[in-house]
A and B are shown apart, each in its own frame.
Chain A
Amino acid sequence: MLTLILRQAALRAVVAVPTLIVVTCCTYVMLFSIGDPAAVVAGESATPEQVAQVRQSLGLDRSVVAQYLDWLAHAVRGDFGESLHHRGDVLGLVGQYLPATLLLSFLALAVAVLASVLMGSAVGARPGGLVDRGLGAVAVLGIAVPNFLVGYVLILVFSLWFGWFPSGGYRTPAEAGLLTTFRFLVLPSASLALGLMCVQTRTFRASLIKEYEADYVRTARMKGVSPSGVFFRHVARNASAPWVTVIGLEIGVLITGALLVESVFSIPGIGTLTLEAVQGQDFPVVQALVTLFALVILAVNLVTDLIALWLNPASRGLS
């Protein structure tokens, strides 16, 4: 089984490489061929001659294919070029902004995963009850409300009314200790987690209900497996596969959400960096960020697919 999964992993990783190349290539063409970085560097008041000069000095007068190959050759070695506005290389810049986003996303993901398993189990084992219908309504609402608006409501209630948490800003663990960092991240991660949590709860509930109706549950009862045994040894595992797959699919939503939530709570993370780079037309940074996002999404999908494969061996029969 392990070798099978490893083989699948290798196969999927190989397939992901062309996708990544096409994504970065298209982005590159969009930014450096259709867009005009030289004009940005030279400034608004620059004469056409000055712009041409900048273009030449940045190597942007070469063919776009040559430029992209050059970028790719550097990128695989971890060199994403230099920011047009900030001092220093892009990778260092990303590294500077990444920890806050990582912490935020992990907190949100952890909350969403834990809560959805608990709530999904609570209602999925006995569907149709009052709790089930109540949670169902809340879930529909939680999916619909954009997470940056959830952020506003949380700020209003827990920051302005109760004063429990700061309404924005961020301190790194190194500056102020882990507890303070955590205090700054409670509201942002809660607003980021809500939507994912609702989607996940619904998915888990639905697959639990489906699995409970499956014939093998009757077989387990026939063997004399206790109700808790039926849940933990039989149903839960089979019900988890779609739920894990959905985590993979929702990772893009999580990234989008992080972008907006960071803006609401003024957290200096990747979202803030992205917005800055977009507004300032910092082409190398945008290019690096798109690469990063694509990489993360491909990696997360790979991992979740492999977990789903491990959970549900029958799907191996299909592949």
Chain B
Amino acid sequence: MTEVLETEPVRAAGPAEPTAGAGRRVRLGWPGTLALGFVLICLLIALLVPFLPLAEPNEQDLGDTLARYSADHLLGTDQLGRDLLARLLWAIRTSLFAGLTAIVVATLIGLPTGMLAGYRRGWFDTVSARIADVVLTVPALVLLLTVHTALRTGITGQMVTLGVIFAPRIYRVMRAETIRVATMPYLLAGRMSGCSHVRILWRYLLPGIRAQVRVQVSYLLGLSLLIEAGISFLGVGVESPDASLGTMLSGAAAMLASDARVVLIPAAVLSLLILSLNVIGDIESEGERRG
């Protein structure tokens, strides 16, 4: 006689299991809203900057260097008399486009390979995992510099390379996520009802791992911006005189003493962008927190 008067709640594998096709709403909170707002504004600027009534960003006016805020130059001018506002907005465009290039390439490589490796396993999984291990052994910046040494690529080439370098990170997360989702009952149900592998991957797996894709994309976009700024700062990324958030900081140490504003404004924008992307990533991961 086994009398059980307690019905223990069935412990689910996690409090928030993704269900097929159901994009769960994520609570943003005020930091998330601010972050998302800032990123969207920057994206809007990046798209619209060629149509805005701005000064020519590379036009120097050596008679009017380091000017203060004025009607002509809302943010003043830099050490070469270039309009700081125009340069800043163009820099946002250059940097964001550079970062997005890397992300698109990384996702195009990492997402399908990761899903395939996690879904089919076998030799493809083994080989691709080894390749990912090797790429991840060397810091992204160092790898990028190595490639630049040999090929002398421009910023677009650099960012494509960065995308290749980031691909293993996306690959790894997607592989792990796919393995997790692939063992869930709803997927098995799909298999049993006779769906093709392509349909399983597209209709069942992708929605399940979508949240993680968003998390990775927002983190890696932040990292891409950081690396673009890094290489441009080191003088091997965006070529001067073109403005990017990195080139605007390059050689800025000398400017600190005379006019820190020239440095601090692009620095603040860059930091805020990365901060916002991190905050967005954190929010998603909280919504997805398991165990």
**Chain A residues engaging chain B, CB cutoff 8 angstroms:** 19-20, 22-23, 26-27, 30-31, 34-35, 140-141, 143-146, 148-149, 152-153, 155-156, 160, 167-168, 252-253, 255-256, 259-260, 263-264, 274-275, 277-279, 281, 283, 286, 289-290, 293-294, 297-298
Contacts and interface: CB of A to CB of B under 8 A. Distances in A.
B148 A278 contact: yes
B149 A278 contact: yes
A264 B255 CA distance: 12
Interface of B: 133-134, 137-143, 145-152, 222, 226, 229-230, 233-236, 249, 252-253, 256-257, 260, 263-264, 267, 270-272, 274-275, 278-279, 282
Contacts of B249: 148-149, 152
Contact of B149 (A144, A263, A286): A286
Contacts of B253: 152, 155, 167-168, 264
Contacts of B267: 149, 152-153
B274 A145 contact: yes
Nearest to A255: B139
B142 A30 contact: no
Contacts of B278: 140, 143-144
A160 B226 CA distance: 26
B233 A148 contact: yes
Contacts of A145: 271, 274-275
B137 A294 contact: yes
Contacts of A30: 146-147, 150
10 contacts: A144-B271, A152-B267, A156-B260, A160-B256, A168-B253, A256-B139, A260-B230, A263-B233, A275-B236, A293-B142
Given A22-B134, A144-B275, A294-B137, A256 B270 contact: no
Contacts of B230: 146, 148, 256, 259-260
Contacts of A160: 256-257
A253 B263 CA distance: 23
Nearest to B263: A152
Nearest to A32: B150
Q: Is the interface of B mostly helix, strand, loop or mixed?
A: helix
A152 B236 CA distance: 20
A166 to B, nearest CB: 12
B91 to A, nearest CB: 14
Contacts of A294: 137-138
B229 A293 contact: no
A140 B264 CA distance: 19
Given A140-B278, A144-B278, A290-B138, A149 B271 contact: yes
A80 B146 CA distance: 16
B142 A290 contact: yes
A263 B263 CA distance: 16
Nearest to B266: A149
Nearest to B145: A278
Contact of A277 (B140, B149, B256, B271): B149
A69 to B, nearest CB: 19
Given A19-B134, A155-B253, 15 more contacts: A23-B137, A27-B146, A30-B150, A35-B149, A144-B222, A144-B278, A146-B226, A148-B249, A149-B270, A152-B249, A152-B253, A160-B256, A167-B256, A278-B145, A293-B138
